[in-house]
Homo-oligomer: A and B are copies of this chain.
Amino acid sequence: MADKKLVESITSMDSDFAQWYTDVVKKAELIDYTSVKGCMVIKPAGYALWENIQKNLDAMFKENGVENVYLPMFIPESLLQKEKDHVEGFAPEVAWVTHGGLTELQERLCVRPTSETLFCDFYKNDIHSYRDLPRVYNQWCSVVRWEKETRPFLRSREFLWQEGHTAHATAAEAEERTIQMLNVYARFCEEVLAVPVIKGKKTDKEKFAGAESTYTIEALMHDGKALQSGTSHNFGDGFARAFGIQFADKDNTLKHVHQTSWGMSTRIIGAIIMVHGDDSGLVLPPRIAPTQVMIIPIQQKKEGVLDKAYALRDRLKGSLRVKVDDSDKSPGWKFSEQEMRGIPLRVEVGPKDIEAGRCVICRRDTREKVEAAFDELEEKLQEVLDKMQKEMLERAREHRDAHTYTAASMDEFEKIFNEKAGFVKAMWCGEQACEDTIKEKLSVTSRCMPFEQEQIADTCVCCGRPAKKMVYWGRAY
């Protein structure tokens, strides 16, 4: 039995989801707060998650022809101002460097909130001919946005992310790349993080500052709120015109490039926590868990117990990420810690198990226990991990579907958002006025116009005029 003390130290999800979240990120030792307002320390357990995210996502990027680069963290004010919509979107929330050493700078530098302007400034000199295209570059870095209210992973003044920035010869190729990267994100979320997502396009109101169109993947958290989990933007040739990025095409005429950008951040760790977690703490999908199997010795002071635990670990570590908890805590406390940290499987090994030549495997998500003979342990663990990964995605999808509603009228729409939490599919006329009205009344935003459209009604849920699109609506993080 797991020791209850550690578990009782966290608030239950149902009584206060926000507090549960804060308790879990602290007790699972993912982060710590700092003296730097709005910034956090990502502790080893949190950073190991990010390292696995990077490793998996970066491998997918490379399969898709992406090359990594690194650009400066500072943007001169004049550079930020070159694209009108972009500067309007970001200038109010950037940090400004005004002094270098003891000297006041001639021009202020902002700490990058995103790097479109820097990539444009670079591409302007880097791209000359159609032979130089496409450029499919990405960087892993930290960015700063001067947020007023912050929450670990979900919204902080500094966060880690990747930002891809590409340049293409044609509009069609840029659009293709925008969708291609959105699909990479969606596949990553579903296959690696077991987080199902809705793919779609943002409305003009919700699109990225300076983009022609923004695509998004939206996930539903356990509390029924939405989390934008990755975005991919098509800029057309807007930035290229503002920055003068031209290339000599095959027909020897000068043309502007077409650009895209796409990003995923440490925010996605918030999604892992809020989609899979439970009242005992984190539940990590096996593919992303830094430790997949924790071997917990029972009566570890008895001769042979620890030796057996180490021997099993050494045998398994070629194919699994496995550890032994050999600390001097009680087994019950170790169980609680393994559960709090979301380690997918626990293997209990005591004198009786050793005598019988088998042990117990316990799944973190369902608490299901399976017996396995020592000599078939590796195959059995792999089998249970695969099953767990698959079932976690299925369960998350079922939860999402069970919390996705349909509203044909404003009455229905309001009733759902007043009584329930989740996605609501409803028709929209295409006017921002209706989005504004809905946001003001219900604090609900349009999450996306999904690629998979349905004809729920003929008229806009808000104004009653003819509908153009079905939209997913929700309250969002």
A interface with B by C-beta (< 8 Å):
32, 34-36, 39-44, 47-48, 50-51, 67-76, 79, 92-102, 109, 111, 118, 121-122, 125-126, 137, 141-142, 144, 146, 157-158, 160
Contacts and interface: CB of A to CB of B under 8 A. Distances in A.
Contact of A36 (B75, B93, B142): B75
Nearest to A43: B69
Given A36-B74, A95-B97, A95-B100, 17 more contacts: A34-B118, A34-B122, A39-B72, A41-B69, A42-B71, A44-B67, A48-B67, A48-B68, A74-B95, A92-B102, A95-B101, A96-B97, A96-B100, A97-B111, A100-B146, A141-B142, A142-B142
A419 to B, nearest CB: 37
A157 B72 CA distance: 9
A76 B125 CA distance: 37
Given A67-B44, A96-B98, A73 B142 contact: yes
A44 B32 contact: no
Nearest to A95: B97
Assembly of this chain: how many copies?
Answer: 2
Q: Give the 3 A-B residue pairs with the shortest CB-CB distance, closest first.
A: A39-B72, A100-B146, A44-B67
Nearest to A156: B72
A122 B41 CA distance: 8
A39 B141 CA distance: 15
Given A100-B95, A101-B93, A32 B137 contact: no
Nearest to A109: B36
A344 B160 CA distance: 34
B146 A70 contact: no
16 contacts: A35-B121, A39-B73, A39-B74, A41-B69, A42-B69, A43-B69, A44-B137, A47-B68, A47-B70, A48-B68, A73-B73, A74-B158, A92-B101, A95-B101, A96-B98, A142-B142
Nearest to A35: B121
A144 B72 CA distance: 10
A98 B101 contact: no
A32 B158 contact: no
B141 A71 contact: no
A98 B68 CA distance: 31
